[in-house]
Structure 1
Amino acid sequence: MKTIKKIIKWILFVLAIPASYLIVSLILTLITVNNTESKVDNTETIYLSTNGVHLNIILKKKDLDKSLLKGLVHSPSDNFFSLGWGDEVFYLNTPTWSDLTFRTAFNAAFLKSPSLIHLTRYTHAQSNWVEIKISRSELSKINELILQSFSTDTNGEKILLKGKGYSDNDDFYKAKGNYTCFKTCNSWVNTIFKKSGLKSCLWTPFDFGLINKYK
């Protein structure tokens, strides 16, 4: 009987960890920071997109600083750059959700793993993107923070993973930082918004927390 009770206690303890994570995450997601918006200076446009799980920031190519654009693969017909940050193994081994395995998901969530920036190029804005009006200074800060997320080689150049993109309009670059359940692809986007002075969640690992604040 004592053994059974111990097993039950351990099961409850194990279940309490993800439950606590979920509850705290939802609470922090609902708390909005930088909620004061100045419409007067909001002359620039950026976008947010999600595939249902993963957030991306989209910038017009003309709005990228020279230092951020330098070293990025692109052509004259590319007008929008969609950028996301995430776990390297997850990105490279999961081109579609049908490719997702338990091991990949577990390692991404619970192990400190290297990260990549995923850049997808578009000629036209997509209908499912959420448009956000911001100021020039906020746009400049976003450029700065995204640039800081790229890893560079000894010459200061961005590190492209050649031939690893899913199609002919996207590429992967080595990124700084490690992916964990506390620093996710969505918290990366949210942190950039928060540090840029834009409306954001106090913290969130989810895609819906930030994007719903702009719908």
Structure 2
Amino acid sequence: MKLFRINSVGTALRALISWPLLVIGLYFLAAFAGSSIPVNSDWREPDQGIPVFVETNGVHVSLIVPMSAAGEDFSDLIRPEHLSDSNIYGTHAMIGWGHGRVYRNARTWGDVKSGDIASAIIGSDETTLHIYHVIDPRPASHRKRFLVSQQAYKSIIASIRSTFRLTTGGRSKAYPAYGANNLFYDSKGHYSAYTTCNEWTGAVLRKAGIRMGIWTPMPGGVMRWFD
């Protein structure tokens, strides 16, 4: 009887450990598969167009877009007076969306807190836009440049605009972030293990007709399409 109890406890412990590992493994497998299957597979970068960038810090993938191009202007939402020094107002905005607490607490994977991970997996309406002011960006190993048509660019801007949560007066609301050149903004959307920060970026590009994986929850799932 004692041996039976020991074996039962051992079996239960193995199941307790193995099931979460199995779920995590299946999640990463699905993420790899989703990011490998293209949507808009016939998309080709135009010979002439508006330059857009994707940039990763290893955790988040953000879009870098001009503050003003093709008749679109972000200055009504991303306003110079939001900055402590308006002289660093960018020619471009690097824009990412995600779980509010993860974004505020985690510049790198080493900063991620277990409680924030749990909240992100379960799902949360506590989301934010994180916007850096960038001046004349150039391609780099972590930043990929590509051209889009005016129509695609307008779609990208419309998707970003629709993510801002505005006040009753129609204004965006900004909060301090990691430094003088970047801010957090109130945003709409529900964050979850399915709709991650990187999937938001992938969805914006898919909607604009740009070749992208059908599901891109991880940073590599977005960046791989521009290598």
What TM-score, normalized to structure 1?
0.89
For structure 2, the residue ranges without an aligned partner over 5 or more in a row are: 1-6, 81-85
Matched residues, number: 212
The CA deviation at 1:65 is 2.1
| Aligned with residue 34 of structure 1, among 18, 40, 47 | 40
Q: What do residues 64-92 of structure 1 show as CA deviations (whole Å, max 9, x unaligned)?
A: 723x4313133465211100001111122
Is contact 1:41–1:134 with CA below 8 Å preserved after alignment?
A: no
Letter aligned with residue 36 of structure 1: D
Give the Cα separation in 1 of the matches to 2:213 and 2:112.
28
The CA deviation at 1:14 is 2.5
Give the Cα separation in 2 of the matches to 1:40 and 1:6.
57
Q: Does residue 107 of structure 2 align to residue 107 of structure 1? A: no
Give the Cα separation in 2 of the matches to 1:58 and 1:25.
24
Give the Cα separation in 1 of the matches to 2:209 and 2:166.
27
For structure 1, the residue ranges without an aligned partner over 5 or more in a row are: none
Give 3-state SS (helix, strand or coil) of 2:187's partner: strand
The CA deviation at 1:98 is 4.6
Letter aligned with residue 162 of structure 2: Q
Q: Percent identity?
A: 22
Letter aligned with residue 194 of structure 1: R
The CA deviation at 1:133 is 0.9
Q: Does residue 153 of structure 2 align to residue 146 of structure 1? A: no
The CA deviation at 1:187 is 0.2
| Aligned with residue 23 of structure 1, among 29, 38, 50 | 29
Counterpart residue number, 1:208: 220
Is contact 2:124–2:192 with CA below 8 Å preserved after alignment?
A: yes
Give the Cα separation in 1 of the matches to 2:45 and 2:225.
16
Greater C-alpha Rg: 2
Change (3 A) 1:151 1:105: same
Correspondences of 1:12-91 after superposition (within 5 Å): 12-40=18-46, 42-63=48-69, 65-66=72-73, 68-74=74-80, 75=86, 78-91=90-103
CA-based RMSD: 2.0
Give the Cα separation in 1 of the matches to 2:224 and 2:187.
27
